[in-house]
Structure 1
């Protein structure tokens, strides 16, 4: 059966569960038949209306938090693009046949994003299971034991919600610190390259918008050209970002005075051996001599840069690859290699998040990158960088960090 022969609207209506589609403005876009049956409302009373106009909090319960908790969950999905499973909620519902009378109801909600073509959340799938009957004694009215159970479950649910709120507040504070660190550690200026270079930085989904991947662009002393580097620290979040900052700063300083990229990585490797958290860190650095049309490069366990010549030929700079930075307690001189380029060529440095995918050979990702760079090679660096990310990164967000530097030679 082909996709075009499936009536997805009918499938949605027949789903065996209470399901609604909610817009980013928190307006009901659609509900299935079971939602109507459980809520006791007609479709025209729900679809097209603001969620909390249809289902407000019980005004007779001053401690009611169902509306606030659900709104926070929906907003989290819209902000992060990630699924959010909520704790057990007491969310009373007004009796549709007896206005002003409220029914005590308990729900187990899950909210999930539906992404549009632009990668943003277009709809939220709101699915709930009504668990009210689990809170009641079997076979008749609520008994004392059932009431005790209800009170205990409700108390535990409130405690979980309060804990989650404190956790989110702590997470928000950590994110503020992480963003400040990112802005301090990653260079904004592009040295003498100006509009000939574009840089992109994409942290993994849920990684505080900061990660261990880094890039650097420095002017080499003595008019020897420009040094362009990228690196990768294992892990995500604030800890990885701290290590990233130390390694980036060390390589930036070493590159300015080193005789070549191999010597710069030698210095960085010795430094990485005394930095906690730098285990298995990788880096690649290139020294670009624009006057003579030469690139000298060296890699410490990092994916190879790609040089796309003006005629579309792709050259993989993989002739000077060595183990990661801290691989040897007593480092030995690292290799370096040199290649040439003509006007209109493009150099791309990147981290593995751009090309590696689970259950896929990395050569497939490298071929995908080479193809994208070739097809867009005549675009300006900023447009080229955006095109590469759009074609290679998942629309739902990558599970690994990504840094990308594009240089027009």
Structure 2
């Protein structure tokens, strides 16, 4: 027995609730029959129209906030790639039969993103439940009681919206502090010694999704440097503080350790005494220009990428161990080495660059490989910018991203 073929376009049109599809530019791409019927519009009056041209605020209501609140919700969906459920909204609608006459309407909206394979929002599902009759109940015998209930519900909705706004402002202030802390603790970008390097840090979109990632560059004796990136579990001020402690500890360990594996062992022991450091991932590479070798070790982190001058990409994945604090007992970490040719490029990065929801990590690594191959020959600064442009979603990633590029 074969599965029946489902006409999803017909299903969409006959859905019992109000549903519309919006482009990232907030233009109506489609709306089902219930949406058009309840809104009192024809398809020609909606499809192809900018949302707020089709449904503007009531010009006769100085306190109208429907457009502002809905626009803020849709911006959050585009920025985060996550569903946003709005508080009860008063959003009046102009009568289709009597232009200039506005009908008092109340709605309960939910906005949900549709993502492409790169995690970009390509469509917004705008679902609305009309609750006007529950609030106003026009024609009810006891109209005064109904109006009191209406005013009370509307006031509660406004109060809830104000609380949400204050919480968002507080979160934004914490984000600003966390970003300032991040900038103060990460080393200044630029070359190290006579070698060319580029570093980038991109905070995640969202109020507190920031400050778990770091990068580090350490000048070692001889013609050597140590480079590392890491990712602390969690976000916000606490994650920023843990990040600073671990980055400083790894810098100090790198100066005295005989290799990256030993440096990560020392960091792992130290991480046991730092609350919030559990399951941090990190990868470190020692670059030796005298011997043209890379020695590396990874604590549960994504593998560094070695872009060869000839154009192929090699991932340094032969010395991977669990994240910091993942084992109850101390175990020596593995270390591997590989050679490089003058002109090759080493790229270290955190998961915000390549990982996307509902996507295998190999897909993200393949995107990175294509970007590196496409831009081979670029100087570190130009290569870093090109990688971010190619791999990060236009609206930003929901995870922060650290990137380090060294010309070998």
Q: What does residue 325 of structure 1 align with?
A: 324
Question: SS at the partner of 1:187?
Answer: coil
Distance in 1 of aligned mates of 2:79 and 2:355: 26
Residues 239-248 or 301-310, more deviating: 301-310
The answer on 1:175 being equivalent to 2:149 is: no
Taking a change above 3 Å as real, the CA distance of residues 389 and 15 of structure 1, as seen in their structure-2 partners, is farther
Residues 14-53 of structure 1 correspond to what in structure 2 (within 5 A)?
17=18, 19=20, 21=22, 37-40=37-40, 51=52
Q: CA deviation at 1:404?
A: 2.7
Q: Contact between 1:22 and 1:126, CA under 8 Å: does it hold in 2?
A: no
Q: CA deviation at 1:273?
A: 1.4
Q: What does residue 159 of structure 2 align with?
A: 159
Distance in 2 of aligned mates of 1:50 and 1:357: 29
Q: What does residue 269 of structure 1 align with?
A: 268
Distance in 2 of aligned mates of 1:72 and 1:243: 32
Distance in 1 of aligned mates of 2:399 and 2:114: 21
Q: CA deviation at 1:138?
A: 8.6
Q: What does residue 232 of structure 2 align with?
A: 233
Q: CA deviation at 1:142?
A: 6.1
Unmatched tracts of structure 2, length 5 or more:
1-6
TM-score (normalised: structure 2):
0.77
Q: CA deviation at 1:165?
A: 1.1
Q: What does residue 380 of structure 2 align with?
A: 381
Provide Cα deviations, 1:154-211, integer angstroms capped at 9, x if missing partner.
2331222121111111111111112212211222323426783333334455363523
Q: CA deviation at 1:19?
A: 3.7
Distance in 2 of aligned mates of 1:305 and 1:243: 23
Question: SS at the partner of 1:108?
Answer: strand
The answer on 1:282 being equivalent to 2:281 is: yes
Number of equivalent positions: 400
Distance in 2 of aligned mates of 1:115 and 1:364: 15
Question: SS at the partner of 2:310?
Answer: coil
Residues 253-264 of structure 1 correspond to what in structure 2 (within 5 A)?
253-264=252-263
Residues 99-248 of structure 1 correspond to what in structure 2 (within 5 A)?
101-111=101-111, 127-137=127-137, 143=143, 146-192=146-192, 196-206=196-206, 208=208, 210-220=210-220, 222-248=221-247
Q: What does residue 3 of structure 2 align with?
A: none
Taking a change above 3 Å as real, the CA distance of residues 194 and 162 of structure 1, as seen in their structure-2 partners, is farther
Q: What does residue 292 of structure 1 align with?
A: 291
Q: CA deviation at 1:44?
A: 8.2
Distance in 2 of aligned mates of 1:112 and 1:142: 38
Q: Contact between 1:262 and 1:297, CA under 8 Å: does it hold in 2?
A: yes
Q: What does residue 3 of structure 1 align with?
A: none
Distance in 1 of aligned mates of 2:134 and 2:152: 13
Q: Contact between 2:204 and 2:399, CA under 8 Å: does it hold in 1?
A: yes
Taking a change above 3 Å as real, the CA distance of residues 113 and 97 of structure 1, as seen in their structure-2 partners, is same
Residues 349-358 or 180-189, more deviating: 349-358
Taking a change above 3 Å as real, the CA distance of residues 386 and 139 of structure 1, as seen in their structure-2 partners, is same
Question: SS at the partner of 1:210?
Answer: coil
Q: What does residue 56 of structure 1 align with?
A: 57
Taking a change above 3 Å as real, the CA distance of residues 309 and 40 of structure 1, as seen in their structure-2 partners, is closer
Q: CA deviation at 1:272?
A: 1.0
Q: Contact between 1:212 and 1:244, CA under 8 Å: does it hold in 2?
A: yes
Distance in 1 of aligned mates of 2:100 and 2:138: 28
Unmatched tracts of structure 1, length 5 or more:
1-5
Question: SS at the partner of 2:306?
Answer: strand
Q: Contact between 1:57 and 1:65, CA under 8 Å: does it hold in 2?
A: no
Provide Cα deviations, 1:193-230, integer angstroms capped at 9, x if missing partner.
6783333334455363523121111222x344221101
Taking a change above 3 Å as real, the CA distance of residues 305 and 123 of structure 1, as seen in their structure-2 partners, is closer
Which structure has more relative contact order (CA 8 Å, sep 6+)? It is 2
Distance in 2 of aligned mates of 1:316 and 1:63: 58
TM-score (normalised: structure 1):
0.77
Q: Contact between 2:36 and 2:43, CA under 8 Å: does it hold in 1?
A: yes
Indicate the RMSD between aligned Cα atoms, in angstroms.
4.2
Q: CA deviation at 1:351?
A: 2.7
Distance in 1 of aligned mates of 2:106 and 2:198: 52
